[in-house]
Structure 1
Amino acid sequence: MLGNWDVAANIAVKNLETAKHFYEGTLGLKPIDAEDDELIVYKSGNSTLNVYRSKYAGTNKATAVTWVVGDDVEGVVRALKAKGVSFEHYNDMPGAKLEGDVHVFGDMKVVWFKDPDGNILSLVNQ
């Protein structure tokens, strides 16, 4: 029923101004809408990312958003590192081989990093 409709990701943050610096300045997303000090909507590819203020920010312990960046995972990692992003290393993932900051699972390459509120974000090649 919902398979023909677009979907948007939602990220809860404590401070919208801090989040704005990260999502715009560090990740390079462009805002397309906003509602006062409560919500900023970003365009990312053909999708949107809603960043909203919440007292529950950073409580999710799982990946919240994944960007599919194709074959340029390493290039995007270098660009984000140059902007101060540090990447998570999960040494206990079955079948994963860590190559620098990139977790390699056969043909799949994944990296994880956190926003200022501790929300877990990721990049994947496929």
Structure 2
Amino acid sequence: MLSDKEAIAMIAVKDIGAAAKFYEGTLGLAKIAAEGEEVITFRSGSSKINVYHSEFAGTNKATSVAWDVGNEIGAIAAALKARGVPFEHYDMPGLTIEGDIHSGGDMKVAWFRDPDGNILSIVGT
């Protein structure tokens, strides 16, 4: 029923202006639509991300969005860090940390937060 339909990530934020600067300016996503001060839609690859105003912003304690960046993870992490993005460091069984990138087997991941505290990540190999 839904297997051939596109999914849209939904990220709650308190300050839509600060979110717009972060998602468009810092992360480089393309803004494709906006509904006043309530919702901004960004394009990321062939996906859409809706950033919307909510009083519950930043309350999710799990990853909201992950980008599959393949073998570019090191370069993308460095570029984000150069733009002032601080990375999260977690003590997780089976993962080692090299700089800002957690590694385990063939998987590498780096976590960071948006201005409202939503957890985002890049994942690669």
TM-score using structure 1 length: 0.97
How far 1:4 sits from its partner (Å)?
1.0
Residue of structure 2 in register with 1:24 after alignment: 24
Gaps of 5+ in 1: none
1:70-81 map, 5 Å: 70-81=70-81
1:1-126 map, 5 Å: 1-91=1-91, 93-125=92-124
Mapped to 2, the partners of 1:70 and 1:46 lie a distance apart of 16
- What one-letter code is carried by the residue in structure 2 that aligns with 1:70? G
Structure 1 runs of 4+ aligned residues shifted over 6 Å read none
Mapped to 1, the partners of 2:59 and 2:29 lie a distance apart of 23
- What one-letter code is carried by the residue in structure 1 that aligns with 2:105? G
Gaps of 5+ in 2: none
- What one-letter code is carried by the residue in structure 1 that aligns with 2:19? A
- What one-letter code is carried by the residue in structure 2 that aligns with 1:28? G
Q: Deviations over 1:33-65 (max 9, x none)?
A: 110100000000000000000000000000000
Find the residue that maps to 2:4 and give its secondary structure.
coil
Aligned-residue Cα RMSD (Å) equals 0.7
- What one-letter code is carried by the residue in structure 1 that aligns with 2:97? L
- Percent identity, aligned pairs only, is 58
- What one-letter code is carried by the residue in structure 2 that aligns with 1:53? H
Mapped to 2, the partners of 1:100 and 1:87 lie a distance apart of 9
How far 1:94 sits from its partner (Å)?
1.0
Mapped to 1, the partners of 2:11 and 2:112 lie a distance apart of 14
How far 1:83 sits from its partner (Å)?
0.3
